[in-house]
Structure 1
Amino acid sequence: MPDTARAPGEGPPSSLPDLTDEQAGAVEALVSRAAAADGGHPLSEASLLALRAPAGSARHLLLAGSGGAVVGYAQFPREGGAELLVDPAERGRGLGSLLAEHLERLAGTEPLAVWAHGGAPAAAALARRRGYRAVRELQHRRRPLGTAAPLPPLELPDDVAVRAFEVGRDEAAWLELNARAFADHPEQGRWTAADLAARQAEPWFDPAGLLLALDAQHGRLLASHWTKVEGGAGEVYVVAVDPAAQGRGLGRAVVLAGLHHLDAAGCSSAELYVEADNAAALRLYERLGFELDTADVLYQRGTAGPGAG
């Protein structure tokens, strides 16, 4: 990504507390163009949801080209890593560096972390030039489903029952489980009722695909597997096991329950994201046939002020 001169008529990015429907649509179109060119997911789900969230959830940087179209976008979130994206047709002209510079100004003297999706070499090169280092890796893994790739049989402990999530009944218990299971996770463990409601409002949400494992005698929620289906592809979306219930094989059980659900729904494959340093989860997923596809990398810059490095 050489930092060559920009075309006449292109100014600095606009910094906005929220986006209009038209602006959000323009960014979503940019995301679609990048996905078509690069594959994968150019922005995280949380960042996509923030495009249409109320003011205050994130700061949005819009970069317009000489014709007025959005050619670059960056998001400075309330928490978690920032993200930036450049139109595939406009790359190699320094727009990524320009957006990164403005993100650094928003961060001030605080450390800034920025996600690079798919492990693109250009993103790694940009990170090196601006003094960032890789601090986290999120692996994207995939396995086929169907008769060509049969699943192991589902076996549940005798004292555990599995049922589907019930809207209006299970929200509080699921959020409590999620907080316990992901107490040390920088994003997942902080989900609120509003975060859950935002995903329940998405077109892909299906309560039948959110499976709950409960203590058969007392009804206490022990684990869950939230599956997701979009465009015929299945995803192991969120797997949560209560730390107090670990060691009983519930992780494997709920993962398999969800995979069997996706298989029965006609999905040709299942995908998931897993932290690269989560050795136990990696072993489980590898034994279930999930192979590495790509990786998202979080790059972080230290406490030096804007312009350093």
Structure 2
Amino acid sequence: MTSTQVSRLDRLDPAQIAEVVDLARAAGDTDGADPLDEQILLRLRDERAPAIHLVARGTDETLTGYAHLDTTDPGTGVGVGLVVHPAYRRRGIGRALAQQVLANAARPVRAWAHGDHPSAAALAVDLDFRRARVLWQLRRPLSSPQPEPRLPDGVTLRAFRPGVDDEAWLALNARAFAEHPEQGRWTADDLRVRLAEPWFDPAGFLLAVESATGRLLGFHWTKVHERPGSARIGEVYVLGVDPSAHGGGLGRALTTAGLTYLREQRGLDRVMLYVDESNTAAVALYERIGFARWSAHVNYQLG
């Protein structure tokens, strides 16, 4: 056990944000899975995003741990991300942060354990959290060319047009992910912050359009991860099909088109994606086209 001071902050300044990002990067390099998801990292830089920040420091003021409490919608509880620096683990810092999370968070509390780390699982059991959801990361190589996408009759592909397609895409995304706890709730602000990210590439945001009407039927938004010291990897960032277009092979065609883009236009040799373990149809589709399980991310809930 070490002397740890946990402070609650309603906002972080740029220097504090940089500390948190560096801490998360160190933990990700050690564990093989980034401890804070994209949503948290985006919200760190968005002054309008409501959040509670719990900051753990040692006696020398070194940042040893951090917890992020997403308080956007108190009626549905609080989403939590928590990380302890690898050099300061097994000293009670994670438990101290978790206890402060429970003291500051409305119920229910939802916390992700990225990479299904054993220490996170043990802490969850001790604090009576239940294992509620599992998100798989799947990967596959892009070493061989993809077959030509077989689009349904009357459907064409084009790139997303920022500022033109925003509203239509948000409506399609809401229909495609109506039952999804996060993706289906995206707002114009959620889209805005991602379109402003350095990695955003409209050419890699593919839209399936009904030729006769211009109506959006589906999309494959790709992403490229570029991190110093690590190999570049592509991602099937979001892939969705309007429920009215299910069953015609559009999802597979969009998947193939996106993988071709990542290989041929971005020069990548591997790709990843995330899919809920419970979405057996999607898991089966991805495994049929060569994806295999790489890691698991577990959501724990209390209340």
TM-score w.r.t. structure 2 length?
A: 0.93
Can you give the 5+ residue segments of structure 2 that lack an aligned partner in the other structure?
227-231
Q: Is the aligned partner of 1:253 residue 2:250? A: no
**Structure 2 CA distance, aligned partners of 1:299 and 1:64?**
25
Pair 1:262 & 2:262 matched? yes
Give the share of equivalent positions with the same residue, in percent.
Answer: 49
Q: CA deviation at 1:71?
A: 0.8
Q: Distance in 2 between matches of 1:35 and 1:107?
A: 25
Aligned-CA RMSD value: 1.2
SS of the aligned residue for 1:277 comes to coil
Give the 3-state SS of the residue equivalent to 2:153 in structure 1: coil
CA contact (8 A) 2:79 2:109 kept: yes
Please say if residues 18 and 53 of structure 1, whose CA atoms lie closer than 8 Å, have aligned partners that are also in contact. Answer: no
Answer yes or no: is the 8 Å Cα contact 2:9–2:53 preserved in 1: yes
- 2:301 matched residue in structure 1: 300
Higher mean alpha-carbon deviation, 136-145 vs 239-248, is at 239-248
Q: Which residue of 2 aligns with 1:118?
A: 115
User: Aligned match of 1:6 in 2, 18, 32?
Assistant: 2
Compute the displacement of 1:152 (Å). 3.3
Cα displacement (A) at 1:158: 2.1
Does the CA-based 8 Å contact 2:160-2:202 persist in structure 1? Answer: yes
Q: How many residues align?
A: 292
Runs of 4+ in 1 over 6 A off after TM superposition: none
- 1:98 corresponds in structure 2 to 96
**Gaps in structure 1 of 5+ consecutive residues:** 303-309
- Separation of aligned partners in 2, 1:36 and 1:173: 38
C-alpha contact 1:237 1:272 (8 A) present in aligned 2: yes
Does the CA contact (< 8 Å) of 1:210 and 1:225 recur in 2? yes
Partner Cα distance (1:55, 1:251) in 2: 35
- Match of 1:199, SS? helix
Equivalent position of 1:207 in the other structure: 202
Q: How far is the alpha carbon of 1:159 from its aligned partner?
A: 1.0
Matched, 1:160 2:160: no
Q: Aligned partners of 2:132, 2:225: CA distance in 1, in Å?
A: 30
CA distance in 2, matches of 1:124, 1:255: 33
Deviation at 1:17, TM superposition (A): 1.5
Residue 193, structure 1, aligned to residue 188, structure 2: yes
Q: Distance in 2 between matches of 1:254 and 1:237?
A: 12
1:113, CA displacement in angstroms? 1.5
Alignment partner, residue 175 of structure 1: 170
CA drift of 1:68 comes to 1.1
Question: Where do residues 37-52 of structure 1 align in structure 2 (5 Å cutoff)?
Answer: 37-52=30-45
Q: Could you tell me which amino acid in structure 2 is paired with residue 43 of structure 1?
A: L
Q: Is the 8 A contact 2:43 2:49 kept in 1?
A: no
Measured after TM superposition, the shift of residue 85 of structure 1 is 0.3
Q: Does 1:53 align with 2:51?
A: no
Aligned 8 A contact 2:205 2:219 in 1? yes
Partners in 1 of 2:246 and 2:67 — Cα distance?
39
Aligned mates of 1:173, 1:273 — CA distance in 2:
24
Equivalent position of 1:140 in the other structure:
137
Distance in 2 between residues matched to 1:111 and 1:158, nearest whole Å: 46
Q: Which amino acid aligns with 1:92?
A: R
Given that 1:139 and 1:293 are in contact with CA atoms closer than 8 Å, whether structure 2 keeps it comes out as yes
The farther-off stretch of 13-22 and 271-280 is 13-22
Give deviations 1:5-38, integer Å, cap 9, x for gaps: 223xx32x21112210000000000011011111
- Go from structure 1 to structure 2 and tell me whether the alpha carbon gap of 1:205 and 1:230 turns closer, same or farther (over 3 Å shift): same
1:44-87 superposed Cα distances (whole Å, 9 cap, x missing partner): 10011111111542211111122212110001112563110000
Which residue identity is paired with 1:103?
V
Question: Alignment partner of 1:247: what SS?
Answer: coil
**Partner secondary structure for residue 270 of structure 1:** strand
TM-score (norm 1): 0.92
For residues 186-222 of structure 1, give each alpha carbon's deviation from its aligned partner in whole angstroms, at most 9, with x where no partner exists: 1111111111010011110000000000101111000
SS of aligned partner of 1:138: strand
